[in-house]
Structure 1
Amino acid sequence: MTTHVTTVPAYAAPAAHAPLERTTVPRRPVGRHDVLIAIEYTGICHSDIHQARDGWGKGIYPMVPGHEIAGVVAEAGPGVTKFRVGDRVGVGCFVDSCRECDHCLRGLEQYCARGGTATYNGRDENGEPTYGGYSTHIVVDENYTLRIPDGIGLDEAAPLLCAGITLYSPLAHWQAGPGKKVAVVGLGGLGHMGVKIAHALGAEVTVLSRSLKKREEALALGADHYYATGDPETFTALAGTFDLVISTVSAPLDLGAYLGLVRTDGALVNVGAPEEPVTLNLFSLIGGRKTLAGSMIGGIAETQEMLDFCATHGLGAGIEVIAADKINEAYERVIASDVRYRFVIDASTI
């Protein structure tokens, strides 16, 4: 039986800085290669807050955030070959790309030369705005849909579609593993997944956080060491220690100080995205042939690889499940770092 969903309940920001409120948004008919996903859980990412509040530039309103989506296939188009009704699936930060550029052909759709189509706060090929996962259903091309393995609960899997792949991709690219020393800066929604994944890859993991208050949590997640960046002695004691430092924080850092922690030929990789610009003295790079880099989520194949890896190693996100009417409160708590470690919306409450 075909399900014709034309409008669905959702929570949207009607304007920049406005509280999110319940509304309805349109969904396109299920096309030949589309799946209709009944959303069960959607994670709240800090980038949702940045975009809903115009922190990264002018947004498209009303805006339905949410790009950490987990649910079940409710309908499959006649040409769909990868999924069937009832399959557990997920959607991440983008729902389409040009499929023709060098990046797309290499499986790096997240760097699509034409920009790709964001899951929300974007425009599709027809120029219509995209609406994200703070809703009950979404229609997505099967080629941009992920299979969630049975070994992970859908609630714990939802944040993996952004937080998980955001950390897995640079850890894999810079070959974190046995014999490598990895530092994760920040122990929040992104950082806690970095610790779990780096530990599972076999790296020696250090957490760098502002104070010592999260030390026991970090060690329980798999960290081998923990240091407070609020202590200036930390940067002296750890100078030239790490092969890879990954910063997950969304505030500007003293990049020179953190590059001082990187050994020769090592890398400082930024996955957090501050709203403010940062500065750098280039001597911090020159002395040691160091790399200052960025990384943004992952392609479809790599995201599926990450999900399978997490299922194999029993890794899910640390979550707090909330009802949809608590979204605005959750936003304030995220800003205050008052969550361990990711809010997840129960879509049945939308």
Structure 2
Amino acid sequence: MIKAFAVHEPSGDLQPFEYDPGALLPDQVEIEVKYCGICHSDLSMIGNEWGMTQYPLVPGHEVVGAIAKVGENVKNLSVGQIVGLGWHAGYCNECPQCTTGDQNLCATAQGTIVGHHGGFAETVRAAANSVVPIPDGIDLEAAGPLFCGGITVFNPLVQYGIQPTSKVAVIGIGGLGHMAVQFLNAWGCEVTAFTSSEAKITEALELGAHHTLNSRDPEAIAAAAGQFDLIISTVNVKLDWNAYLSTLKPHGRLHFVGAALDPLDINVFALIMQQRSISGSPVGSPATIAKMLEFAKLHKIQPKIETFKFEDVNQAIAHLKSGEAHYRIVLCR
């Protein structure tokens, strides 16, 4: 039996829970969970905001731990090895996306917390090819958020060939944005942070932003017309997207990694006349996650975290809901 914390109804409290995972499959590993980040996606799943939660739900998809068991067909991982597990706990391994290295785009990928029990537990199981070894030199306590938030903001740099000479802006300096600024600075880009918080201006600069712009100041946004090659939006609220489009250069891209649920109100001529693009992306493939970890190690990039004990998970969830988290929360064994 696996001991865990589960929620049994939308937005309910997490309670001690045990479940029988059955026999370990030949291509699976079992991870002894040492740390697990708490992400806004966990909150969305707990509240069934996306309409796909199955209860009881064991959240947790930013797992760091040691391999405790390996299936008989697993050759690339060994007991005791330190690994991480993110949003996906398995792939179909047959579709064109899986066979060409885009496993994160597999239409039938197994979510770690979608129809599957996640990392708010003593152990968690996953397909071996969804698990990524963590290089020596990474702070394990802070590594969990890299497997969701970190890879979410790193993936576009790889997918769209962002150059060190690119001028890039980040909307929202929070759980995603504070990591995006660090990655972009280390990538070599000139980085601008859009933020509505005066308190975050100094911190954005300390994280690696070269400039800041007040996202609530129409005159400041207008003055930035035609400046950016890429804007990464990390927020989940509706903004004046046409104002942000105006700050893009010709061929510029407005890219969404924050799950804004409202439809986009876009002036199509702003796209056509300057050949601009709008796009979005999820987490990355295991290969891109591995690349991100090496990059983070090389440049000493890590999320800013607050820690709670696993038994204080409800207190940690409440802290995240309050909006006061700075910036990611990690449960520690």
Measured against the shorter chain, the TM-score band is over 0.9
The answer as to 2:147 corresponding to 1:161 is yes
Instruction: From 146, 161, 166, give the equivalent of 1:175.
Output: 161
Task: Please tell me the residue identity of whatever aligns with 1:264.
Answer: P
| Residue aligning to 1:60 | 54
The answer as to 2:99 corresponding to 1:105 is yes
Q: Percent identity between the aligned chains?
A: 38
Alignment partners' CA distance in 2, 1:194 and 1:316: 11
Map of 1:57-206 to 2, 5 A cutoff? Answer: 57-113=51-107, 115-122=108-115, 130-206=116-192
Alignment partners' CA distance in 1, 2:251 and 2:323: 33
| Residue aligning to 1:280 | 266
Structure 1: unaligned runs, 5 residues or longer? 1-6, 123-129
1:268 Cα offset (Å) = 0.4
SS of the residue corresponding to residue 49 of structure 1 reads helix
The answer as to 2:203 corresponding to 1:217 is yes
Map of 1:259-274 to 2, 5 A cutoff? Answer: 259-274=245-260
Task: Please tell me the residue identity of whatever aligns with 2:67.
Answer: V
The answer as to 2:330 corresponding to 1:344 is yes
| Residue aligning to 1:16 | 10
Alignment partners' CA distance in 1, 2:194 and 2:319: 21
The answer as to 2:317 corresponding to 1:324 is no
Task: Please tell me the residue identity of whatever aligns with 2:109.
Answer: G
Post-superposition Cα deviations, 1:37-67, rounded to whole Å, max 9, x if no partner, equal 1000111111111111111124111111111
Post-superposition Cα deviations, 1:303-343, rounded to whole Å, max 9, x if no partner, equal 11111111122112111111234333333332333111100
Task: State whether residues 64 and 134 of structure 1, in contact with CA within 8 Å, keep that contact through their aligned partners in structure 2.
Answer: yes
Q: 1:280 to 1:335 in 2, by over 3 A?
A: farther
Structure 1 range deviating more: 171-180 or 266-275: 171-180
Task: State whether residues 183 and 245 of structure 1, in contact with CA within 8 Å, keep that contact through their aligned partners in structure 2.
Answer: yes
Task: State whether residues 55 and 275 of structure 1, in contact with CA within 8 Å, keep that contact through their aligned partners in structure 2.
Answer: no
Alignment partners' CA distance in 2, 1:176 and 1:53: 36
Alignment partners' CA distance in 2, 1:307 and 1:15: 35
| Residue aligning to 1:297 | 283
Structure 1 range deviating more: 102-111 or 16-25: 16-25
The answer as to 2:226 corresponding to 1:240 is yes
Post-superposition Cα deviations, 1:66-93, rounded to whole Å, max 9, x if no partner, equal 1111001112223321111111101111
Task: Please tell me the residue identity of whatever aligns with 1:59.
Answer: T
Task: State whether residues 222 and 243 of structure 2, in contact with CA within 8 Å, keep that contact through their aligned partners in structure 1.
Answer: no
Alignment partners' CA distance in 1, 2:305 and 2:98: 32
Alignment partners' CA distance in 2, 1:25 and 1:277: 39
1:27 Cα offset (Å) = 2.2
Task: Please tell me the residue identity of whatever aligns with 1:195.
Answer: V
For these two proteins, the number of residue pairs brought into alignment is 333
Structure 2: unaligned runs, 5 residues or longer? none
Q: 1:167 to 1:30 in 2, by over 3 A?
A: same
Alignment partners' CA distance in 1, 2:20 and 2:156: 36
